[in-house]
Amino acid sequence: MIGLQQLESARQQALSLEQAINQVVIGQEEAVRLIMVALHARGHVLLEGGVGVGKTTILRAFSRALGGAFGRIEGSVDLMPNDLLYSAWVDADGKPVIDPGPLIAHGEETAVFFFNEINRARPQVQSLLLRAMAERSVEAFGKEYLFPHMVVFADRNAVEKEETFELSAAARDRFLFEISISRPRDDAQRRKLIFDPAFHDVNQLLENIEPALVDYKALNEVDRLIQKSIYVSTEIENYVVKLWDASWQPHQYGIEMADIFIEDLVVAGASVRGMSAMVRAAKVCAWLAGREHVLPDDIHAVLLPTMTHRVFLTPVYESRREQIMPEFVTALRDKIATP
Ligand X SMILES: Nc1ncnc2c1ncn2[C@@H]1O[C@H](COP(=O)(O)OP(=O)(O)OP(=O)(O)O)[C@@H](O)[C@H]1O
The one-character DSSP state at 337 is P
- C-alpha 38/C-alpha 244 separation (Å) is 20
Stretch 73-112: interaction string toward ligand X, x if CB under 6 A:
----------------------------------------
193 binds ligand X (CB under 6 A): yes
Single out the segment in contact with ligand X by CB under 6 A; choices: 25-33, 87-95, 99-107, 330-338: 25-33
329 binds ligand X (CB under 6 A): no
Paired with 218 in beta bridges are none
Q: Count other C-beta atoms under 10 Å from residue 299's C-beta.
A: 24
31 binds ligand X (CB under 6 A): no
**Least distance between ligand X and beta carbon 173 (Å):** 24
Q: Classify 42 in phi/psi space as left (phi over 0), alpha (psi -120 to 50) or beta.
A: left
Instruction: Please identify which residue in 20, 34, 53, 313 interacts with ligand X, judged by CB under 6 A.
Output: 53
Instruction: Please identify which residue in 21, 27, 176, 298 interacts with ligand X, judged by CB under 6 A.
Output: 27
Among residues 116 and 126, whose Cβ is nearest to ligand X?
116
- C-alpha 118/C-alpha 155 separation (Å) is 6
Single out the segment in contact with ligand X by CB under 6 A; choices: 53-61, 101-109, 124-132, 209-217: 53-61
Instruction: Please identify which residue in 23, 135, 166, 200 interacts with ligand X, judged by CB under 6 A.
Output: 200
Instruction: Please identify which residue in 63, 110, 116, 119 interacts with ligand X, judged by CB under 6 A.
Output: 116
Q: Note whether 57 and 199 are within 8 A (CB).
A: no
Q: Note whether 154 and 22 are within 8 A (CB).
A: no
The dihedrals phi and psi of 288, each to the nearest 5 degrees, come to -65, -30
Among residues 52 and 96, whose Cβ is nearest to ligand X?
52
Alpha helices in 136-271 (DSSP H): 169-173, 187-195, 202-206, 219-229, 234-248
The footprint of ligand X (CB under 6 A) covers 25-28, 51-57, 116, 184, 193, 199-200, 202, 205
